[in-house]
Structure 1
Amino acid sequence: MKLQLWSVGKAHESHVSEGIELFTKRIGNYFPVQWTLLPAPKNAASLSETDLKIKEGELILNQLKKEDYLVVLDERGKLLNSEGVAAFLQQRANESEKNIVFLIGGAFGVSADVLQRANFKWSLSQLVFPHQLVRFILAEQIYRACTIMRNEKYHHS
């Protein structure tokens, strides 16, 4: 099973880049993993919030393969604790999913079309975080889930 971590926006900022890279490398000990940063649409600043979400949604949907299992990070998604994330990943592995895409949408979230395409909507927290921090949290929580699945000590060290 391959894990793909997608985010709409700019490159990882230096203050979080080191942590993202560290946890991404650690995830690689369990699953193949790759980050994909999707650039904001051209002339994004001149688009309305709705039009921007639609443009970003088109970009996302064009990149997805039919068989990809899409997990959209969304504030209205299901809250999972760390053990729940581990169970979620284990279930996907048991179902022989080949490719799971974890998507962090743009500044205004994702379009209705992307939400409709999602296989699962996951909320990291009821709090709102900057996108850069969400990338870090996502990588760390997936790594934590991997260690839980293998009953390793990171989770409670």
Structure 2
Amino acid sequence: MKLQFWTIGKAHEPYVKAGIEMFTKRVANYYPVEWNIIATPKNAATLSEAGLKKKEGEIILQLLQKEDYLVLLDERGKQLTSEDVAAFIQLRGNESAKNIIFLIGGAYGVSEELMQRANYKWCLSPLVFPHQLVRLILAEQVYRACSINRNEKYHHS
């Protein structure tokens, strides 16, 4: 199984880059992992909020494969504990999922088409975070889940 972190926007900002790289490298001890940073559409400034979500959705839907398991990070998604995330990842592995894609949508969220395509919707927190911090939190939580599944000492509960 491969884990992929997809996000719309620019490269990792320096203030989070080292942490994202560190946790991504740690996740790589358990699963092949990669980031896919999808550029904001070139004409984004001229699009309405709905138009931008639609365009971003079209780009992502073209990149997805039919068998990809898409986890959409969304404020209306299900809130999970770290143990729940561990169980979720373990279950996907037991189901022989080839790719789990964790998607951080654009500044205005995602299109309805992309919402419908999602296999699972996960809310990291009821708080609102900058997209850059969400990247770091996501990488850390996936690493934590992997360490829980291996009964390692990183997670203390």
Normalised by the size of structure 1, how large is the TM-score?
Answer: 0.99
Counterpart amino acid of residue 8 in structure 2: V
What is the match of residue 75 of structure 2? 75
Within-5 A mapping of 1:27-42: 27-42=27-42
Q: Percent identity?
A: 71
Structure 2 residue identity aligned to 1:143 = Y
Q: Which sections of structure 2, spanning at least 5 residues, go unmatched?
A: none
SS of 1:153's partner is coil
Aligned pairs (5 A) from 1:88-107 = 88-107=88-107
Rounded to whole Å, the distance in 1 between the matches of 2:113 and 2:34 is 24
| Aligned match of 1:16 | 16
1:74 Cα deviation from its structure 2 partner: 0.2
CA RMSD of aligned residues (A): 0.8
Question: 1:110, 1:31 → 2: CA distance?
Answer: 27
Where do 5+ consecutive residues of structure 1 fail to align? none
1:54 matched to 2:59: no
Q: Secondary structure at the residue paired with 2:4? A: strand
Question: Which amino acid counterpart does residue 94 of structure 1 have in structure 2?
Answer: N
* Aligned residue in 2 for 1:3: 3
Q: Which residue is 2:140 aligned to?
A: 140
How many Å separate the matches in 1 of 2:15 and 2:137? 13
CA distance in 2, matches of 1:109, 1:151: 35
CA shift for structure 1 position 55: 0.2
Alignment size in residue pairs = 157
